[in-house]
Amino acid sequence: ASAWSQVKAGPPDAILGVTEAFKADKSPVKINLGVGAYRDAEGKPYVLPSVRTVDEQIVQAKNDKEYLPITGFPEFTKQAAILAYGKDSKPLQDGRIAITQSISGTGALRIAGAFLERHYPHSKAIYLPSPTWGNHIPIFKDSGLEVKTYSYYDKNTVGLDFEGLKKDMEAAPPKSVFLLHACAHNPTGIDPTKEQWKEISQIMKEKEHFPLFDSAYQGFATGSVDADAFAPRHFVEQGHQIALCQSFAKNMGLYGERIGAFSVVCESAEEKARVDSQIKILVRPLYSNPPVHGARIAGTILSDPALYEQWLKEVKGMADRIITMRTTLYDLLNELGSKKEWGHIKSQIGMFCYTGLTADQVAKLASEHHVYLTKDGRISVAGVTPGNVRHLAESIHAVTK
Ligand code: PLP
């Protein structure tokens, strides 16, 4: 018998399953709102002009294709840290932030999990918000951590369950690890307010909890890279030694380039050197060293003042298109006479809208209206365009009457 004859077929990926169903649908009005990738106003994938420019520069430069160091392209990681922490960040100025290039945000989270599993001296459990990005759970389980959850979403208000969140943080054993979405919480699109972040920071300080931030949408939420970095920067100012996972998939549209970073705020430059050495020891047997092309692109955009300014405008352009589509969808639902309260479509932030639609309504949207989204009722607003928003509004209205 084959060595694999006893291997059981696993379940298909929930989001890729939506894409499969979408592809099989022959209707000209079909809409795919499952996948979390930005689309332009025509519904097409979008390569940022700043990225195109650097791509061309890189081809012309005829660089060699030598290996990068284990922790990646230094010009990239230096700039990635400035983007996340801000150029005036105290630990950055003190030279006590350990940072490594990673295989996008997923790879950063996986290194974070492995680093915590090996070196965090307290409980090897991690608390994730409920709900959270689906991949968080297997990432941390596969890293060898025990996965627990904390309250986040209140389905009655389609808002943040702040009381539940605080209660769960208070109830967790001291020095527990908590994963926090830096901005544009996926899948709900619901973020704590600044005041709520301050309270969360305070509670976590009192309980000596460890904050691990997942920053996959910096700039993409509000259109401002600084506004979207409020939470991790505030925590650092308050003296938390955070760890942070960054992705450049969304904010630079570099999905397939797999470019991200994992960083740890240390107590001293001497501690940083020790942490760096252990990150290298983790990365070497995983993938040895990261790919170079995305690091050259992101590193160049972040370090060239003119390209950086251009990129900031392009990120804001993407964020603004999404915000405009939220308003249009909300207005159309009202115009069509929907009696439901849809304010959360506008108040939620980032790429996703957690509509509050039930699994039955989602199934009807697909079977009767050719509109595809994940079972949890999450819409990728990045897939909504001036051309399809009316069909979407009419379909949502039809299934929620
Ligand atoms: N974290 C969150 C919350 C995400 O939504 C995503 C992507 O959808 C990621 C991390 C990582 O994505 P990538 O590995 O493509 O950077």
pLDDT averages per 10-residue partition of the chain, 401 residues: 96 82 94 92 95 97 97 98 97 98 98 98 97 96 98 93 98 98 95 98 98 97 96 98 98 97 98 98 98 98 98 97 96 96 94 93 96 94 95 97 90
Rounded Cα–Cα distance for residues 357 and 378 (Å): 8
Distance between alpha carbon 350 and the CA centroid of its chain, in Å? 9
Ligand 1 atom 2, closest CA: 216
- What was the pLDDT predicted at 36? 86
Q: What are the tokens at 308?
A: 């950086």
Ligand 1 atom 11, closest CA: 105
CA of 131 to the centre of ligand 1 (A): 15
Q: CB under 6 Å to ligand 1: residues?
A: 36, 104-106, 133, 181, 186, 214, 216, 247, 249, 255, 260
CA of 31 to the centre of ligand 1 (A): 22
Q: Which atom of ligand 1 lies nearest, measured to the CA of 181?
A: 3
Give pLDDT tens digits for 228-287. Answer: 999 999 999 999 999 999 999 999 999 999 999 999 999 999 999 999 999 999 999 999
Strand partners, 101: 261
Q: What are the tokens at 221?
A: 């939420």
Q: Are 265 and 236 in contact (CB under 8 A)?
A: yes
Give pLDDT tens digits for 98-121. Answer: 999 999 999 999 999 999 999 999
16-55 burial: b if 16+ Cβ within 10 Å, else e: eebeeebeebeeeebbbbbbbbbbeeeeeebebebbebbb
Mutate to test the pocket of ligand 1, among 19, 213, 214, 215 (most ligand atoms within 8 A of CB): 214
Q: Which atom of ligand 1 lies nearest, measured to the CA of 214?
A: 1
CA of 216 to the centre of ligand 1 (A): 5
Rounded Cα–Cα distance for residues 304 and 300 (Å): 6
- What was the pLDDT predicted at 14? 76
Q: Which atom of ligand 1 lies nearest, measured to the CA of 36?
A: 8
CA of 380 to the centre of ligand 1 (A): 13
Mutate to test the pocket of ligand 1, among 135, 139, 140 (most ligand atoms within 8 A of CB): 135
Ligand 1 atom 12, closest CA: 105
ipTM tops 0.85? yes
Ligand 1 atom 13, closest CA: 105
Ligand 1 atom 9, closest CA: 105
| Nearest in space to 238 (alpha carbons), one of 265, 275, 271 | 265
Q: Which residues are catalytic?
A: 133, 214, 250
- What was the pLDDT predicted at 140? 98
> What is the share, in percent, of the chain residues with pLDDT greater than 90?
96
184 Rama sector, left if φ>0, alpha if ψ -120 to 50, beta otherwise: left
CA of 247 to the centre of ligand 1 (A): 7
CA of 106 to the centre of ligand 1 (A): 6
Mutate to test the pocket of ligand 1, among 106, 132, 137, 191 (most ligand atoms within 8 A of CB): 106
Ligand 1 atom 8, closest CA: 36
State the pTM of this model: 0.96
CA of 117 to the centre of ligand 1 (A): 21
